[in-house]
Amino acid sequence: MLTRTLWLCLVLSIGACSAQVPTPDSRTPLIDAIVDGDRSSFIRLLDRGANVKDRDAYGDPLSVLAIHQREPNLVRFLLRSGANANAVDRHGDPLAVLAFHQKHNRLVLDLVTRGVDPNAEDRHGDPLTVLSLHARAHDLVDRLLDAGADVNAEGRHGDSLTVLALPAEHEDLLERLIDGGANPNTPDSIVCSSIWSRPVWM
């Protein structure tokens, strides 16, 4: 009886694992084109009405799959064909955040132009502006602020934009944040205190 139970558990475990592994049978021609980086086939399939709202074997939207394949232009084609600019991957990260992590800042701005919230947050609660400033992507922060991003945004550790903008290279950004209504009295965070030690006078 025990042996039979163990055998059943083994079969169920194998079945669960195999369900998470993409197989050729579970991949559509459009997915194959994205994975293979075959742009001509990809465009031809879109022209013939391929379903841009399909998902891969893991449940991720095709735009997410294209980002993971480092194909920002394929994402743009998908968006023009009706794919959701606010797509989220299976972990809870929005497309704009994934594009940022792949250093596709122009795509991030394209997504914002298509209506994506410039305050979009990753699965941990860090907004795009905070992520960008941590990465010293000053220009991207400026563009996100132009699009209406919150000047008082804070990361998950309480690291505000004003505190992150304290280093000398961000002086213009700090001034813009304050002029735009950011709270100049935002308390420092443990994370930022450990990163920046430059005294600031306001």
- How far does CA 187 lie from the centroid of its chain? 28
pLDDT (tens place) for every residue of the chain, 202 residues total: 545 544 444 434 444 333 333 444 568 999 999 999 999 999 999 999 999 999 999 999 999 999 999 999 999 999 999 999 999 999 999 999 999 999 999 999 999 999 999 999 999 999 999 999 999 999 999 999 999 999 999 999 988 999 898 886 778 999 999 999 998 877 654 444 444 444 443 3
Supply the pLDDT for residue 200: 40
C-alpha to C-alpha distances, 64 to 46, 70, 87, 129, 178, nearest whole angstrom: 17, 10, 8, 21, 35
CA distance linking residue 173 with residue 162, whole number of Å: 9
CA distance linking residue 104 with residue 132, whole number of Å: 12
Q: State which amino acid sits at residue 117.
A: D
Structure tokens at 113: 């132009």
CA distance linking residue 37 with residue 154, whole number of Å: 37
What pTM did the predictor assign?
0.77
Domains of the chain in sequence order: 29-116 (1.25.40.20), 117-202 (1.25.40.20)
Supply the pLDDT for residue 139: 93
DSSP 185: T
**Closest to 160 measured CA to CA, from 120, 139, 191:** 191
Q: State which amino acid sits at residue 77.
A: F
H helices within the chain, ranges in order? 2-19, 29-36, 39-47, 62-68, 72-80, 95-101, 105-113, 128-134, 138-146, 161-164, 171-179, 190-195
Hunting for tokens 């559509």 — which residue is that?
28
- State residue 94 phi and psi, 5-degree precision: -75, 160
- State residue 110 phi and psi, 5-degree precision: -60, -40
Contacts of 99 (CB under 8 A, 6+ apart): 67, 72, 75, 105, 107, 108, 111
CA angle 25, 27, 29 (to 5 degrees): 115
- How far does CA 133 lie from the centroid of its chain? 15
